[in-house]
Amino acid sequence: MKNTVLAKRYAKALFAVGKEEGSLEELSRNLAEVAAAIATTPELIDALVNPVYPVEVREKVMDYVIKSMKASQVMANFLNLLVQKKRANVLADIAEVFQVMVDDDNNICRGKVVSATELSSSLNDKVKAMLEKITGRQVILKNEVDPSIIGGLIAKVGDLVLDGSIKTQLTGLKESIKGSE
């Protein structure tokens, strides 16, 4: 995130409006969809960010995006404000910060579990339950397969990292053998 301070300001303002109106989930979904659509379409990024295009053209492009994504009126106003203030380049960062704020408000934290092979659903549920017990929050996990860890798991939730991988254990054993020589 390059524009963290700026993204936080805009996300905080949108969060306040969404909280007041009780539409945080809808705004979160709208913002994520719009940010993803724009991020995956280089032409849209160019049309919204390139200073060669006048603001009026950028507004028309954003209006098209808003209509095609069926965004709420609050989201439409927010996105148009970004275009008018020439801040459309910060949209992805705002979406990321906003999602974290909504998750915090809902007592949710997102994390990732890395394993050497695909986890069974029962093992995934056990890891999730353990992380929920440790964090005291509802955990949403993303699974990732990385054969280089050899075996075991690496669980990351926020600042918490639990590394029970064979690779890390072997590295530690190697270091202790080198140290005792």
Do residues 137 and 107 touch, judged by C-beta distance below 8 A? Answer: yes
- In the chain, pLDDT over 90 holds for what percent of residues? 94
Residue (of 57, 32, 50, 41) closest to 88 by Cα position: 50
User: How far is the C-alpha of 142 from the C-alpha of 124, rounded, in Å?
Assistant: 10
Tokens of 50: 């390139």
The residue count for the chain: 181
Top pLDDT among 1 and 105 is at 105
| pLDDT over 60 at 69, yes or no | yes
Residue 2's pLDDT band (boundaries 50, 70, 90)?
A: low
Confidence of residue 4 (pLDDT cuts 50, 70, 90): confident
pLDDT of 57-68, one tens digit each? 999 999 999 999
Torsion of CA 116, 117, 121, 123, to 10 degrees: -40
Q: Where do the H-state alpha helices sit in the chain?
A: 4-21, 24-39, 42-49, 55-69, 73-84, 91-105, 121-135, 166-179
Domain architecture of the chain: domains with CATH: 4-104 (1.10.520.20), 107-179 (3.40.30)
pTM: 0.83
Residue 98 has pLDDT above 70, yes or no: yes
- Give CA–CA dist 22/59, Å, rounded: 27
pLDDT tens-digit map of 115-164: 999 999 999 999 999 999 999 999 999 999 999 999 999 999 989 999 99
